[in-house]
Amino acid sequence: MLNHLLSPVKAGSIALNNRVVMAPLTRSRAGQPGDVPRALNAEYYAQRASAGLIVTEASQISRQGQGYAWTPGIYTDAQQAGWKNVVDAVHAKGGKIALQLWHVGRISHNLLQENGQAPVSASAIQAANSQCFVVQPDGTPANVQTAEPRALTLEEMPGIVEQYRQASVRAKDAGFDLVEVHAANGYLLQQFMSTNSNLRADAYGGSLENRARLTLEAVDAAISVLGAARVGVRISPNFVAHGIADTEAEAMALYLAKAFTQRGIAYLHIAEPDWAGGAELTSAFRTELRAAFPGTLICCGGYTATEAESLIASGLADAVAFGRPYIANPDLVERFAAGAALNTPDRSTFYGGEEKGYTDYPFM
């Protein structure tokens, strides 16, 4: 029985019908030109509206924040209008949806940046063994090594925070129930947080508190628009891909959890180190995290329905997010409730393309 997983819960001021969360999943199918959400995207999300909460694929808050071709943005009028159609489609099916706000930082390439500029990061350190997805000058798509970034200047920092604020305004105007600040998976905010990617000597570098500064400023910018009860945050303690090797990962996570508790945010979303490698979260750390953040805690890490039920029953999480199962099972909640078998996702259709592997998976 999945009595906990299928029971209602609140994320800040938003009531969720169940605790099955659709995790953010990059699918690289935004309309071109302009990286605009289109009717196909609205159909895809509406199919999955029985989730307690849908967290959208990560959406760049500026051209500078993009690291992969064909991902949707939230910085132009056309993108906002496209997202409004997605939100309306999900709401029409009774669903709740959060927009994930994304700045990739150094996980990018000059081909993706305006006028071929270098990507930006905390420090001018190229991400080791890390790729991004570009359209090459001859028009063919390719995975390429990320480019060497330049370090953001102190004078530029308010502008980065303003990108998060403006994206939050657009998300609010598009009708999203919540936004999720993406501070995980080795992107810009985690580049500032990690000891090996941030070698700054100013107010954004050095101490743990300084390395956390940009993340908290981004969260506060979103709160200033939507209120804390409609802002979630995703972090990924012990994440090791994209050149991240943070020697204070758990200390940073606990510091942020306490800061988020003080702010009263809607939820904290933990991306566990499953697909990206890294040390598993210990039971001791999970207990500390729960104590530091008594609010709605969402965990994401390759869980089965039974494992998710146990985690929620233990009190160490309030909801569980599912990624790849949601690619192939638009009716995942109904399948969980019925104890039904799950469709297997087709990896070859994860990124790019049209309906195949996106909106054509069968319902029960």
Domains, the chain, ordered by start: 9-105+156-349 (3.20.20.70)
Quote the strand ranges of 114-230, DSSP E: 120-121, 131-135, 141-145, 150-151, 178-182
pLDDT score for 115: 96
pLDDT tens, residue by residue, 8-64? 999 999 999 999 999 999 999 999 999 999 999 999 999 999 999 999 999 999 999
Mean pLDDT of the chain: 97
**Cα–Cα distance for residue pair 76/66, rounded to 1 Å:** 14
Contact status, residue 324 vs residue 332, Cβ threshold 8 Å: no
**Confidence category of residue 274, pLDDT binned at 50, 70, 90:** confident
144 pLDDT higher than 80: yes
131-139 long-range CB contacts below 8 Å, 24 or more apart? 132/67, 132/68, 132/104, 132/107, 132/108, 133/28, 133/67, 133/68, 133/69, 133/70, 133/351, 134/69, 134/109, 135/69, 135/111, 136/111, 137/111
| Phi and psi angles of residue 302, each rounded to the nearest 5 degrees, phi first | 70, 30
pLDDT score for 275: 74
pLDDT tens, residue by residue, 92-124? 999 999 999 999 999 999 999 999 999 999 999
pTM, two decimal places: 0.98
Distances (CA, A) of 241 to 107, 157, 225, 245, 246: 11, 25, 32, 8, 11
pLDDT tens, residue by residue, 281-339? 999 999 999 999 999 999 999 999 999 999 999 999 999 999 999 999 999 999 999 99
**Cα–Cα distance for residue pair 21/323, rounded to 1 Å:** 9
pLDDT score for 138: 96
**Confidence category of residue 197, pLDDT binned at 50, 70, 90:** very high
Mean pLDDT calculated for residue range 169-191: 98
**Cα–Cα distance for residue pair 190/207, rounded to 1 Å:** 14
pLDDT score for 277: 79
pLDDT score for 34: 98
Closest among 289, 290, 284, 319 to 305, alpha carbons compared: 319
95: Cα within 13 Å, side-chain hemisphere: 30
pLDDT score for 330: 98
Distances (CA, A) of 222 to 23, 163, 227: 20, 10, 7
With pLDDT > 90 as the criterion, what percentage of the chain qualifies?
98
Catalytic residue among 44, 68, 187, 351: 187
276 pLDDT higher than 80: no
279 pLDDT higher than 80: yes
| Sign of the torsion formed by the C-alpha atoms of 145, 218, 177 and 39 | negative
What is the residue whose two structure tokens read 């909460």? 53
Radius of gyration of the chain (CA): 19
Contact status, residue 128 vs residue 198, Cβ threshold 8 Å: no
Active site residue 358: no
CA–chain centroid gap for 43, Å, is: 20
257 pLDDT higher than 80: yes
pLDDT score for 355: 98
